[in-house]
Amino acid sequence: MPQHATNRHTGPQHTRSQHTRSQHTGSQHTGSQHAADAGPAHADHAHTRPRGWWRDAVIYQVYVRSFADSDGDGVGDLPGVRQRLPHLAGLGVDALWLTPFYASPQIDGGYDVADYRAVDPRFGSLDDARQLVSEAHTLGLRVLLDLVPNHTSDAHPWFRRALAGDAGARACYHFVRGRGTAGQEPPNDWESLFGGPAWSPVPGEEGLWYLHLFSAHQPDLDWRAPRVHEEFDSVLRFWLDMGVDGFRIDVAHGMVKAEGLPDVGAGEQARMIGARVLPFFDQDGVHDIHRAWRRLLESYGPDRICVAEAWAPTAERLARYVRPDECHQAFNFHFLQAGWDAQELRRVIEESMAAATTVGAPTTWVLSNHDVVRHRTRLGSLARARAAALLMLALPGSAYLYQGEELGLPEVRDLPDEARRDPAFSRAAEGAVTDGQEGMRDGCRVPMPWTAEGPSLGFGPDGGWLPQPQDWPSLSVGAQTGDPLSTLELYRTALRLRRLLPGLGDSAMEWLTAPEGVLALSRPGLVCVLSTRDEAVEAAAPGELLLCSAPGESRESMEAGAGAGRLRIPANSCTWWAA
């Protein structure tokens, strides 16, 4: 692939600087100083990554509804994202992934699309989308959209026509006769991920059912219909022509269902998601779709990518989604699920890297997203969250950040029921088994705090769609900026250092000997030490301290009380050392 490759459409030139080690060795940094010294992250154009920008990219997930509200309706929007792009450029990420902003009844936060080529008026206009892409590119940020191909909204014109009896439209969905003499039972035992049966009766047609793996307002498309393929090819082209850099593919493992729609044959299917191949998930046929999309993306040049949101039972099966002719990346949820356990983290890292290597793909790492409990809360403390982030950013491959994790935001557990919007919440309240979140996904979707004051803390001119906790002013971007001990400055410095270390993202890694509960790994120019222990632990000094997740710690403080040439590694910490 040519260096500095630009494609023939509107993709920007994205390059990273190549700096020598001498620029970062010999100094200690526990705050933002280093990043400030090194100049603006996006002004660097000396070094290219020859094998694809995504292989070590840091990609920031913008949950549009909760990011920034420009017009005061309480809902985040595209002009709001545009206004806050400088935050993302300053943070030092490579790209953003925008959650769905298409025309939608918003039953499932926009993952119920009624028109794939229109922007929902709540989020802005097509022109806003165009300007957002262009302004992001000017700042050196690539833009990924969220493609939702497994299901549409029930408000999609195809589904409306299907309900009205149009046979062509019906062929695009799974309309199936039920079991029992009059078809009064659902066609099989599949359960919705939001709880309850995955089938709903077709109104006015006794014995006929339609499939929805998610809410009843999200009918599954039948990818055996050629028209579905044609439509999505056209949708991809629509946005690629606008200049977007690629897509995160929602439920990328779900489009194809096993022939004959066989029963799963066991209860509590939600608990099996990602644990085994199911007749509706991880079927071999989905790979043909990914291959076709890869060809389409490549017809726009080498830099347009797709990342699969795929739940696969093993790292090996997940690697199938990132074979050279399929998706460029797949989310690695096994890392997210590893918890705060050094051995388990090591196992998952090794397995993920080994599996990805077999197909020549980069690994990805993610700790939080809009579907899971924020990792600060999941791991049990801010100290662990900060440490986990530094571990993730020291690993080979690409990392995904979820908005607000750079502020150390916790999960909000005490939202009033009436404020919650997650469709799984009402199902869980009815006692249905859901996908393990008990329908509580609103707690990680609370609007971003930008300023320490103002209604909705700078999220918008008025209140936000979900209330922010009382103590969030101190977590706001404004309150943390310039405070060297803050989580925001820790992320800024880590991302800055990541750029300064050539090849950190996409090269070999070696494990070093470490005490129990501690992981030590060596990367080009860097040794990363993670301690999952609740007390300080003595270890040999690996080099000069570059960055420490424990606020206020320095090499001197770690030397105090330790034997000669040794350090006390703080509890629940991650440190980066120049090597």
Closest CA to 494 of 30, 74, 25: 30
* 308: its two tokens: 């699969």
Closer to ligand NOJ by CB, 331 or 459: give it: 331
Q: In whole angstroms, what is the distance from residue 500 CA to residue 38 CA? A: 9
Q: According to DSSP H, which parts of 16-114 are helical?
A: 33-37, 78-91
Q: How far is the CB of 424 from ligand NOJ (least distance, A)?
A: 8
Q: How far is the CB of 517 from ligand NOJ (least distance, A)?
A: 33
Among 108, 245, 282, 309, the active-site one is: 309
Bridge pairing between strands 510-512 and 518-523:
antiparallel
Q: How far is the CB of 412 from ligand NOJ (least distance, A)?
A: 17
* 173: its two tokens: 């969905």
Q: How far is the CB of 384 from ligand NOJ (least distance, A)?
A: 24
Q: In whole angstroms, what is the distance from residue 530 CA to residue 383 CA? A: 12
DSSP three-state, residue 59 = strand
Closer to ligand NOJ by CB, 108 or 351: give it: 108
- Sequence-ordered list of residues with C-beta below 8 angstroms from that of 254, at least 6 positions apart, any chain: 150, 213, 220, 280, 281, 286
Q: According to DSSP H, which parts of 38-140 are helical?
A: 78-91, 126-138
The residues binding ligand NOJ (CB under 6 A) are 108-109, 111, 148, 214, 250-251, 309, 370-371
Question: Is 309 assigned a catalytic role?
Answer: yes
Q: How far is the CB of 439 from ligand NOJ (least distance, A)?
A: 11
Question: Is 250 assigned a catalytic role?
Answer: yes
Q: How far is the CB of 249 from ligand NOJ (least distance, A)?
A: 10
Closer to ligand NOJ by CB, 11 or 110: give it: 110
* 427: its two tokens: 């199902």
Q: What angle do CA 255, 112, 308 make, to 5 degrees?
A: 40
Q: What angle do CA 371, 532, 553 make, to 5 degrees?
A: 105
Closer to ligand NOJ by CB, 440 or 528: give it: 440
Q: How far is the CB of 108 from ligand NOJ (least distance, A)?
A: 5
Closer to ligand NOJ by CB, 321 or 576: give it: 321
Closer to ligand NOJ by CB, 248 or 320: give it: 248
Closer to ligand NOJ by CB, 108 or 282: give it: 108
Residue number, nearest CB to ligand NOJ: 111
- Sequence-ordered list of residues with C-beta below 8 angstroms from that of 471, at least 6 positions apart, any chain: none
Do residues 466 and 445 lie in contact, with contact meaning Cβ atoms separated by under 8 Å? yes
Q: Tell me the backbone φ, ψ of residue 201, rounded to 5 degrees.
A: -65, 140
At position 24, the amino acid (one-letter code) is H
Which DSSP symbol is given to 397? S
DSSP three-state, residue 523 = strand
Residues annotated as part of the active site: 250, 309
